[in-house]
A and B are shown apart, each in its own frame.
Chain A
């Protein structure tokens, strides 16, 4: 087997990061997407644009500003130091926060589309049956948007797996803390350790294919596996 202890650490760390980021994004992204799908506020445009920014920006731009903002002189850094958390670069929490920002559009956009596709009518019908706003959301909107949640989760997970630039800039490549698979592969390639690079890269390739296969054959496969109706 060509995998070293550091390689295994990187794999475990990457999966842990992707899982955690997906969960956090579902928690934060759902209310944002719900609000965006319902609101007529003038803020809708600016908020949508802000969330979609990571799609357009080079990761280096995001990494650069996060490094400055989370550093001891930056606003986030001063807040976290004030709260007794220290500064966030070179920590697992730091790359979790960066990844959440970086993958946000991949969760909010499918969810928003899902909520918008439901339309007003099912919710109005629920309202006539004396459902309050919370019940409308949990008993009507949520089940109807289930496929969108699946898409959002898969995309968030997959996008975090493939993250590189931002983590390279703020992570500091600490084994088991911030040295994720993509960084580990980069280090292997630079050091001409092609065998190890192959092991990890091939693993990534297969894993990514399986994840995308799940996403794109959703209509055929996923309902059978997860009991989701499309």
Chain B
């Protein structure tokens, strides 16, 4: 019996030593799950995903969290990690460009979507109770949300109606549960509700008449600074394996696939 436990302990130790732990900004969790599965099947490399707001993950790495890769939702936090000496500049890469969508619970059922006034019209007409955004200090999507509202000169009027999710996943959850009637979320979170013809790169900025008919509204990119998402290898014992997975994620094949997840590729 004891021998069996010893064997188990040794085996599990082996399993741990070449397991990759990947810290992922909440907006990118869905594609990461799928894509890391593909990678795990083809390479036998086991991958554990940890998600949260970019700021939280960075703070955790700073305090010695055992993450091998950091998929941030911006460039700034990657720069900071390098500044702290916790990551290597050479491994730094852009892996995706995110988009913001104004969304409401109604947008999830297509039948209601046409009957209800569009989210955009409700936002502009101040016809809603709460607008959920991600915490602008912690989540890059939150910062882009505030920038967009300021560009639309709606921010000061709507400020009292803002509800803050700790990360973009909680923000989406507030909208999904209909507790907040409107929310600014990542396109990647709602892409499955959009018809194939409007999804990803083909969902371009609409003119005003189209804007008022659609339930969800893709926030035009010129309203906020671009959400350029960067990844970096965190210094540690798994740097080689981490670099391989990073190379896989920025490969042409995977970058092509990011379109269907609601990202623009590099």
| Chain A residues with a Cβ under 8 A of chain B | 67-68, 70-73, 86-87, 89-90, 168, 170, 172-174, 179, 186-187, 189-192
Q: Is B206 an interface residue (CB 8 A)?
A: no
Q: Chain B residues near A68: list those with CB within 8 A.
A: 177
Q: Is B178 an interface residue (CB 8 A)?
A: yes
Residue-wise, chain B 173-210 has the 8 Å CB interface mask toward A (1 for contact) of 01001111000000000000000000000000000000
B135's contact among A67, A89, A187, A192, by CB below 8 Å, is which? A187
Q: A186-B166, A187-B166, A191-B59 are in contact. List 11 more A-B contacts (CB 8 A).
A: A67-B177, A86-B129, A168-B166, A172-B132, A173-B163, A187-B135, A190-B53, A191-B137, A192-B55, A192-B58, A192-B62
Q: Chain B residues near A179: list those with CB within 8 A.
A: 164
CB distance from A180 to the nearest CB of B (A): 13
Query: What are the 7 A-B residue pairs with the smallest beta carbon separation, nearest first?
Result: A172-B163, A173-B164, A89-B179, A190-B56, A71-B179, A191-B137, A72-B178
Q: Is B130 an interface residue (CB 8 A)?
A: yes
Decide: A67 and B138 in contact? CB cutoff 8 A.
no
CB distance from B187 to the nearest CB of A (A): 22
CB distance from B184 to the nearest CB of A (A): 14
Q: Is B149 an interface residue (CB 8 A)?
A: no
Contacting residues of chain B (206-264) with chain A, CB-CB under 8 angstroms: none
CB distance from B245 to the nearest CB of A (A): 26
Listed A/B pairs (11) with beta-carbon separation below 8 Å:
A67-B179, A71-B177, A86-B129, A89-B179, A172-B163, A172-B180, A173-B164, A174-B164, A187-B135, A190-B56, A191-B137
Decide: B180 and A90 in contact? CB cutoff 8 A.
yes
Number of A-B contacts (CB under 8 A): 58
CA distance A193 to B50 in the complex (A): 22
A174's contact among B62, B163, B177, by CB below 8 Å, is which? B163
Decide: A187 and B163 in contact? CB cutoff 8 A.
no
| Chain B residues with a Cβ under 8 A of chain A | 53, 55-56, 58-59, 62, 129-130, 132, 135, 137-138, 162-166, 174, 177-180
CB distance from B59 to the nearest CB of A (A): 5
CB distance from B173 to the nearest CB of A (A): 8
Q: Chain B residues near A191: list those with CB within 8 A.
A: 55, 59, 137-138
CA distance A72 to B174 in the complex (A): 11
CA distance A189 to B59 in the complex (A): 8
Q: Chain A residues near B62: list those with CB within 8 A.
A: 192
CB distance from A219 to the nearest CB of B (A): 42
CA distance A192 to B57 in the complex (A): 11
Q: Chain A residues near B59: list those with CB within 8 A.
A: 189-192
CA distance A174 to B163 in the complex (A): 6
CB distance from A200 to the nearest CB of B (A): 15
CA distance A170 to B132 in the complex (A): 12
Q: Chain A residues near B55: list those with CB within 8 A.
A: 190-192
Q: Chain B residues near A170: list those with CB within 8 A.
A: 179
CA distance A173 to B179 in the complex (A): 14
CB distance from A30 to the nearest CB of B (A): 33
Tell which of B138, B165, B177 has the most Cβ of chain A within 10 Å.
B177
CA distance A73 to B59 in the complex (A): 37
CA distance A57 to B130 in the complex (A): 29
Q: Chain A residues near B179: list those with CB within 8 A.
A: 67, 70-72, 87, 89-90, 170
Name the CB-closest residue of A to B181: A72
